[in-house]
Amino acid sequence: MRVLVIEDDEQVAEGIAVGLRRAGMAVDVALDGSVGLDWALVGVHDVVVLDRDLPGIHGDEVCAALIQSGNPPRILMLTASAEVDDRVEGLALGADDYLPKPFALAELVARIRALLRRAQPPLPPVLAHADLELDTARHQLRRSGQPVELAPKEFGCLEALLFARGRVVSAEELLDRVWDDSSDPVTTAVKVTISRLRQKLGDPPVVETVGSLGYRIAQ
């Protein structure tokens, strides 16, 4: 899951980013509305966490522009106001959810995951293949009933491959889905991560390379 945080308070933005990354999400951060809107329109993010009171372009305008784009990500708006009218107004703009500040990071994580489950197509709570069970909600993997510890990027790659249901997933697509801008990724990072993932999964092999096209779950 890739999340864009648009928040002008740098300390708050980085605190959110650190917490979401610990929860296994790839996170990009924009500190004003103009940069945030440009980034959000690229279309690589599943959820945008959008502060309402932004410099440059107000959060309301960013939300409206994303809705008008025709294929918006899920939008969770943040505001320092706890007034009901403000929350209703934000939702009326097209936001999917609204969270007043201050908030508990655990609640933000839960709401982001809930938004992703509402996305089309939805991400199942458990992705299964043969003897693999990947619990996306609890961030746990079991093979033949035994737990397998994965690093966040390994988990993200396996999640994307299982969700593709046998479709070949390119290294570039994995970069878009699993890595964020702070990691300055290159395609070799995908190769290294897939290699480590294969080692942890053991035999029989689960992930196969398809020429120069990418990777898929072995059938």
Q: What angle do CA 112, 171, 74 make, to 5 degrees?
A: 20
113 and 137 share one domain = no
| pTM of the entire predicted model | 0.63
Q: 118, 143, 164 — which closes off a domain? A: 118
Domain, as residue range, for 183: 126-217
* Main-chain phi, psi angles of 41, to 5 degrees: -75, -15
> What CATH number does residue 95 fall under?
3.40.50.2300
Phi/psi class of residue 87: alpha, beta or left (left: φ > 0; alpha: ψ in -120 to 50)? alpha
Closest CA to 6 of 69, 68, 55: 55
81 and 37 share one domain = yes
DSSP classification of residue 56: S
> What CATH number does residue 183 fall under?
1.10.10.10
Assess whether pLDDT exceeds 90 at residue 121: no
Q: 118, 142, 165 — which closes off a domain? A: 118
16 and 114 share one domain = yes
Closest CA to 201 of 122, 127, 141: 141
What integer is the mean pLDDT of 102-125?
A: 79
pLDDT digits (tens, 9 = 90+) for 138-193: 889 999 999 999 999 999 999 999 988 888 888 888 887 888 766 555 668 899 99
Domain count, the chain: 2
155 and 211 share one domain = yes
Q: What is the pLDDT of residue 95?
A: 87
Q: What is the pLDDT of residue 187?
A: 66
Closest CA to 59 of 7, 16, 108: 7
Assess whether pLDDT exceeds 70 at residue 122: no
